[in-house]
Chain A
Amino acid sequence: MNLQQLRQLQPYLWSLPRASGEQRAEVLLYGTAPLLASMDDKVLEQIANVAALPGLVGAAMTMPDAHWGYGFPIGGVAAFDAEQGGVISAGGVGFDISCGIRCLRSNLDLSDAAAHFTRLADTLFHAIPAGVGEEGELKLNPAQLDQVLQDGAHWAVQHGYGNAADLEYVEEQGRVTGAVPNYVSELAKKRQRGEMGTLGSGNHYLEVQVVERIYDNAAALAFGLHPGQIVISIHCGSRGLGHQIGTDYLLMLAKAASRLGIHLPNRELACAPIKSPEGRQYLGAMNAAINCALANRQILTYLTRSACAQVYPHAELETLFDVSHNTCKVETHEIDGKPRLLHVHRKGATRAFGPGHAMLPERYRAAGQPVVIGGSMGTGSYILAGASGNPAFSSASHGAGRAMSRHQALARWHGRELINELAQQGILIRTRSMRGAAEEAPGAYKDVDLVAEATEQAGLARRVAFLRPKVCVKG
């Protein structure tokens, strides 16, 4: 990205000045000069297009890990007011609706656990359906799936895949309201038949990590984290059901926008007014997909616990938090001193409520919401806490963000060699796809340290802990 186009407002905040006659809201970009310079110019084009959508409140924003997406940039945040003609966009949520991370803290320390990592890697790889063509053992009939779409992680817990304590530490306590299974197509439901409790492929993973560094002792204490502790992160979403909802509504909303007279700078922004029939239908279907994702990660939590128990009989895995990063959530935010109900799109961005927020579980209320910035399988991840006065509708970065295309990564790395190199560094990779491993090479991602630092310095979230990968199951 050419920084000459931008105006630097603060050390970690930039704006894109409007061209003469350009009708759009403000565009704000969070990050350092090197992070922004490494982004494709398409990021700027896409977020400027978002800023031109009707009913946008405040600014359209990108997080420090932003990269070129479809419709919205990945790392894009935009809030809309339904009462002012605000829109909901399928491209602003993505195909993998409610993709997110479930983070589990354990009672295991590296010193005890390390000797059994090879067995743990093999056991997890056997237990977790991951990658192209892999199906889960749980097959739901149509009525059961509709219950999942209504009840989210609650359905999974009620059917033995976890415990009530898990739900307290899942966003929305494990279930969003407003899900309408009837707005989900039959094909979407059929696609999900074999995919409950599966990880998927691409950038999805299950990673065993060790807490290597604590940045914020008080927040770490609240989150139950200490140096040397084993933590497990599960990154996945709503699987085939969400993908099909994204597919179905992308075209439906693109046509609706045209029919409703919404001028789209590019039809990849496919959207409809929140209050239109099409907008309401998408919202109902999207909420159903969020519940599907929450249930999926709950089932994967159960499978992970079962696998760990085979290797470490005394292991206890508690849910630290479960947070999504491809969503549109209805939230109240204070705008010009007044509370307003907004539809906040976070496409590759994590909700990051600050200390004291009423929706946080009591245990975390003083610290702020746990936020996970997932790294690549060779570098590391960060746990942060939502910052007070977060200026981005309580949003933060979600990952390292790609620095290189998949095609470029394939040309540079070979899956088997990469896995061997990582093994020499003490990181065990298990995958059925050598191509997938090469595409996800750590070098294909931005420097996660810089992203986490910029996220903190921009006032979005505070670093709490750094996690080093030890075992990674990839799809």
Chain B
Amino acid sequence: MLTSSSLYFEHDADIGIIGRGTTVEQAFEEAAQAVFAIVTNLDLVQPSSTLTLEFEEADPELALVTWLNLLLGKAREQGMIFSRFHVQHHGSKWRAEALGEKWHAGLERGVEVKGATLTMLSVKQTGAMWEARCIVDV
């Protein structure tokens, strides 16, 4: 859990998460890993089941919040924990896969994440790198 401090930034009550990559899709994938690493140690999660998600959002920042919240909602609905993510994006259409397994007692327990917020929200490209960040409520 919290394997890399570079994936997080400070907030008084909650947690700031960061995803980076050479594409916006990679940044979204890493942002999702940062979120689920708050919940458990992702190294112990078996990527044995796949969930496919699709949504439409033209605004990249709102797309980040939509993506993370869809993942959190589906994970709780289905009793899943996800550890690997693949994101594709064409214009406003986003398609993604989340891989993980059903929650079980053998997993390390971290802290529940309630949702991704619009606070400190940004998705931007600096040079060759994309960075996606926001505060998540825990």
Contact = CB atoms under 8 A, between A and B. Distances in A.
Interface of A: 40, 42, 67-71, 74, 91, 94-96, 131-133, 135, 187, 190-191, 193-195, 200-202, 240, 243-244, 246-247, 250-251, 254-255, 266-268, 270, 402, 405-408, 410, 432-433, 435-436, 439, 475
A439 B13 contact: no
Given A247-B116, A405-B11, A439-B111, 14 more contacts: A69-B14, A70-B14, A132-B111, A193-B77, A195-B76, A202-B114, A250-B117, A251-B65, A267-B118, A402-B12, A406-B138, A435-B1, A435-B110, A475-B112
B137 A132 contact: no
Contact of B12 (A40, A193, A251): A40
A433 B138 contact: no
Contacts of B76: 191, 195, 240, 243
A133 B109 contact: yes
A268 B116 CA distance: 11
B110 A187 contact: no
Interface string B32-66: 00000001100000000000000000000010011
Contact of A71 (B105, B110, B119): B119
Contacts, number: 137
* Chain B interface bracket (under 10, 10 to 19, 20 to 34, 35 or more): 35 or more
B94 interface: no
B104 to A, nearest CB: 8
Interface of B: 1-2, 5, 8, 10-15, 39-40, 62, 65-66, 69, 72-74, 76-77, 79, 81, 103-105, 107, 109-112, 114-119, 121, 135, 137-138
B32 to A, nearest CB: 15
Contact of B13 (A131, A191, A402, A410): A402
Contact of A67 (B5, B12, B66): B12
Contact of A247 (B11, B73, B105, B119): B73
Contact of A191 (B1, B73, B109, B118): B73
A132 B109 contact: yes
Given A95-B114, A132-B109, A436-B110, A244 B11 contact: no
Nearest to B138: A202
A91 B81 CA distance: 27
A131 B109 contact: yes
Contacts of B40: 132
Contact of A268 (B10, B107, B119): B119
A200 B39 CA distance: 12
Contact of B137 (A96, A270, A475): A96
Contacts of A187: 73-74, 77
Nearest to A253: B118
Question: Which of B12, B14, B62 has the most chain A CB atoms inside 10 A of its CB?
Answer: B12
A191 B77 contact: yes
9 contacts: A68-B12, A71-B117, A71-B119, A94-B137, A191-B73, A244-B115, A268-B118, A405-B11, A407-B15
Given A68-B11, A187-B77, A191-B73, A251 B66 contact: yes
